[in-house]
Structure 1
Amino acid sequence: MTTTAETIDVKTTSGRVRGRVVVALNTTLYQFQGIPYAEPPIGALRFAKPKPIQKPRNDIIDATKPGNSCMQREMPFAGTSITQSEDSLVLNIWTPTLPTDNANKTSLKPVMFFIHGGGFTVGSINGHCNGGPLATHGVVFVAPNYRLGYFGFLYGDREDAPGNLGLYDQLLALKWVRENIHLFGGDRDQITIFGGSAGSWSVSSHILSPLSKGLFKRAIMQSGAHLNNKDRDVITKDEALSEGKRLAKELGWSEDMDWIQYLRTVDAKELVNKSKHVTFPMSGTEFLPLSAQKAFKENKIYSDIDLIAGITSNEGSVLSRMFIPPDKKVFTLDDFTAAVKSSDAMFHGIDVQKVVDNYLKYVDTSSTPALKRAFYEYFGDLWIKYPTYLFARQMATTVGNRHNIYFYELTHQNQLFAKQFGCDDKDSAVGHAMEIPFVFGKPFVEQTVDSYNETDCQFSRDVMRMWTNFAKYGKPDDKWPQLLSDPNVPKVKDLNPDPNRPPLYDPYGHYYNNIWKSYFE
């Protein structure tokens, strides 16, 4: 993508923003970076819901360079260096068109609103989220930052610290888009929200939340759903409250003070240093009143949408590192069992013996690589595959013929991108997040163009076309079968450079029936 010296101004509810003209895939685009969509969440607003911008800024907002990223630990796989600040509730926009004074509704483009991943603990719109290549396909691309770690998910059981703040940030950004996106040539009534990993959990959360209902028309979930053990969430409100107070004590709070007010005075870097590897949203709150299972059962979800959901073929290889260090040379049967027990401490309700019996049924338990592969499969199934798949299947059952519901399994990866994530060996492929370079057209971004062969380039063209077609028309192409076009045999698209691969027929039935049905449903 090449940047020109030409700038362009747009008047928004945040103030007048100055972006620049760029060229991607031989297409002229308008790029705006770091547009504020909320008041800075600092001081009394730390841990509080985001506050809409009260009055437009008087000075021109410089959107010609990246804005701040949210406070976080140093981010692996960042893709670029980032500047951190609590004042980081900003969004980026790429658009192929800006409206003229006499523009009408029919000339407005569909909007793709991307929510980045990173376990709700790291991540930034200034990393892998260059929306230029997607915008060349006739859509307006938007990506917001949202608060992470304790800044985004500390729970105080009170109005000024309600928890799930990162999700409230996304919601406010979505409302800002609905109010302003026509100024950038986008159609507020044609918004597709999409995201990967924690971004996918976020998308599912907006489908579940009564607060987001009606704000978008379509959704794409790339590896992840807020669907946990049927009996309890990963973290309950009581646990989250205790954890918050424990954090305050560790940072010097004494009980004669208001603990939330005390944490508002703590240096931001101290809160970052205490952050965990992964953060989880909570149900039973205003944003997520019900678990996914209850919301589906009581039909309290936003079902008036089309959906693509999907996974990679080996989700667990990258995500298992918290249980199997990459440099662990020997992994025994005892290690496998211990790792399953550790995962139970995180996700709860796991029948350890049943997992061992099923996932090691035909495995050489004297082989380290075989045991590692089995654990990758189990952990990917638990955390990503079955939550995503069961969420999509439940959506398909709920909407019937009224909307289109699709599912994919990615079976191809780019080796250089896989190497950055440590999943470039055959036992680890195709790893978590490996759809990113193809969705975002990385083969066509100058800095990385040499890392992709012609197969990768064509595959990225195909994926971008399918994703943007879905945003425009509600279907990616004519060949992709709907998940439950036959209610008895779920059909999953084999997402691969070979366009002639047949669908996978009910590929997840075995472990679903043997283990996960009783766990999730």
Structure 2
Amino acid sequence: MESGAQMYNKDRGVVNTTEALSQAKAIAIGLKCNESEDWVHCLRRADPKDILKYVNPIATYPVFGTEFLPISARQAFNEKKFNQDIDLIAGIVHDEGPGFVEIAIKDPAHMTLTDFYHGLNVLDSLGYHNVNAQKVPQYYLKGVNTTQSGALRKAFGSLIGDLILGCPTYLFAKRFAQTVKESQRVYFYELLYASERFAKQTTCDLTTQGVCHGMDIPFVFGLPLLNPSDYSNEDIYYANYVVKIWSKFATDGHMNSEWPQLLNNDSMSGPNVKGLDPKNIPLVLDDPFHDTCDGVWADYYL
């Protein structure tokens, strides 16, 4: 499970049925659909580029409470109404958020403290409702020089990354593991390394943004193995390593001996997260999301 999880605020989904219908009507009107005709037929005639004008800039979100997704992930975990006979590997990259900052902040290069708080309002308008307006900024601004735009941008990048990708993915995997750990295997990773070549292709500035969202793609899909002349020797080596362990998991549901399960039976140790870094293959992170996902955001999702 990569690039997020369908897990949102416990009290309110990103979009409900009323909002979804209203949005659909707005799209239909914008595309000159007649209210008396079948909107699906009208949308099929529309230019895809025109439809894209109405897309949420972050993602497309599900509507819960329908025949397709009758209940939320939180309810499914609480009531054990989900498929429990599978093994799971899930993970994130070290810096999920920096690439999304410009969605909420108009001018990140000259960001102010006012912009930081306004950014939370923008996230709410995009569907990330009920963010604690005191606790969350207090945590992410702790120790931050709020007169420096770069420092504010980095702090907001951490916030948005944890909110939309990092913590939903981690908490989904953790809740899944808590239910199935007696019979199934659940693993979690955090990618700490990025290919310079792929970062340039995707306009990720490794110096200012870190290991951006999507930086696991070249390794999981073996791009350096397919096009070795485009990548460094370290990229090629690590792609070979990752493809092998992903393939092993797909084959038998097990990772290698260097990769512990997310949760184990030792109540004294915290969650185990595999740090993916070619410079430190055996690296295992001990409870790295204790303060963020299990702290600041736990009551937001659970």
- State the SS of the aligned residue for 1:465: helix
Task: In structure 2, list runs of 5 or more residues that go unmatched.
Answer: none
For residues 145-204 of structure 1, the C-alpha deviation after alignment (integer angstroms, 9 at most, x for no partner) is xxxxxxxxxxxxxxxxxxxxxxxxxxxxxxxxxxxxxxxxxxxxxxxxxxxxxxxxxxxx
**Aligned mate of 2:6, from 226, 237, 249:** 226
Aligned residue for 1:414? 195
CA shift in 2, pair 1:457/1:268, >3 Å = closer
- State the SS of the aligned residue for 1:352: coil
Aligned ranges 1:346-495 → 2 under 5 Å? 346=126, 347-446=128-227, 449-485=228-264, 486-487=266-267, 488-495=269-276
Q: Does 1:509 align with 2:290?
A: yes
- State the SS of the aligned residue for 1:341: helix
- State the SS of the aligned residue for 2:188: strand
Answer whether contact 1:253 1:262 (CA < 8 A) is retained: yes
CA shift in 2, pair 1:455/1:322, >3 Å = same
Aligned residue for 1:291? 72
Deviation at 1:441?
Answer: 1.3
Aligned residues: 298
For residues 41-61 of structure 1, the C-alpha deviation after alignment (integer angstroms, 9 at most, x for no partner) is xxxxxxxxxxxxxxxxxxxxx
CA shift in 2, pair 1:514/1:440, >3 Å = closer
Answer whether contact 1:415 1:424 (CA < 8 A) is retained: no
State the one-letter code of the partner of 1:233.
G
Q: Does 1:241 align with 2:26?
A: no
Decide which structure has greater helix share.
2
For residues 81-112 of structure 1, the C-alpha deviation after alignment (integer angstroms, 9 at most, x for no partner) is xxxxxxxxxxxxxxxxxxxxxxxxxxxxxxxx
Answer whether contact 2:4 2:165 (CA < 8 A) is retained: yes
Answer whether contact 2:187 2:261 (CA < 8 A) is retained: yes
Q: Which has the higher contact order (CA 8 A, sep 6+)?
A: 2
- State the SS of the aligned residue for 1:283: coil
Deviation at 1:262?
Answer: 4.0
- State the SS of the aligned residue for 2:288: coil
Aligned ranges 1:244-323 → 2 under 5 Å? 244-277=24-57, 278-323=59-104
For residues 298-334 of structure 1, the C-alpha deviation after alignment (integer angstroms, 9 at most, x for no partner) is 1111111010000000000112231235x64211111
Aligned residue for 1:138? none
For residues 370-415 of structure 1, the C-alpha deviation after alignment (integer angstroms, 9 at most, x for no partner) is 1111111100000011100001001111102211100000000001
**Distance between the aligned counterparts of 2:44 and 2:231, measured in 1?**
46
Answer whether contact 1:223 1:312 (CA < 8 A) is retained: no
Normalising to structure 1: TM-score of the pair?
0.55
- State the SS of the aligned residue for 1:426: helix
- State the SS of the aligned residue for 1:329: helix
Answer whether contact 1:318 1:422 (CA < 8 A) is retained: no
CA shift in 2, pair 1:421/1:323, >3 Å = farther
Aligned residue for 1:336? 116
State the one-letter code of the partner of 1:407.
F
Answer whether contact 2:101 2:153 (CA < 8 A) is retained: no
- State the SS of the aligned residue for 2:258: coil
State the one-letter code of the partner of 1:470.
F
State the one-letter code of the partner of 1:222.
E
- State the SS of the aligned residue for 2:134: helix
CA shift in 2, pair 1:399/1:253, >3 Å = same
The RMSD of aligned alpha carbons is 1.8
Normalising to structure 2: TM-score of the pair?
0.92
CA shift in 2, pair 1:273/1:511, >3 Å = closer
Aligned residue for 1:34? none
Aligned ranges 1:5-20 → 2 under 5 Å? none
Answer whether contact 1:315 1:431 (CA < 8 A) is retained: yes
Deviation at 1:264?
Answer: 4.4
Answer whether contact 2:191 2:276 (CA < 8 A) is retained: yes
Q: Look at both structures and tell me which one has the larger radius of gyration over its CA atoms.
A: 1
Answer whether contact 1:341 1:352 (CA < 8 A) is retained: no
Deviation at 1:258?
Answer: 4.4
CA shift in 2, pair 1:245/1:454, >3 Å = same
For residues 396-441 of structure 1, the C-alpha deviation after alignment (integer angstroms, 9 at most, x for no partner) is 1110221110000000000121122232232311110000011111
Q: Does 1:324 align with 2:68?
A: no
Answer whether contact 2:192 2:211 (CA < 8 A) is retained: yes
CA shift in 2, pair 1:387/1:496, >3 Å = same
For residues 201-221 of structure 1, the C-alpha deviation after alignment (integer angstroms, 9 at most, x for no partner) is xxxxxxxxxxxxxxxxxxxx1
Answer whether contact 1:319 1:432 (CA < 8 A) is retained: no
Aligned ranges 1:36-55 → 2 under 5 Å? none
State the one-letter code of the partner of 2:11.
D
Decide which structure has greater strand share.
1
- State the SS of the aligned residue for 1:315: coil
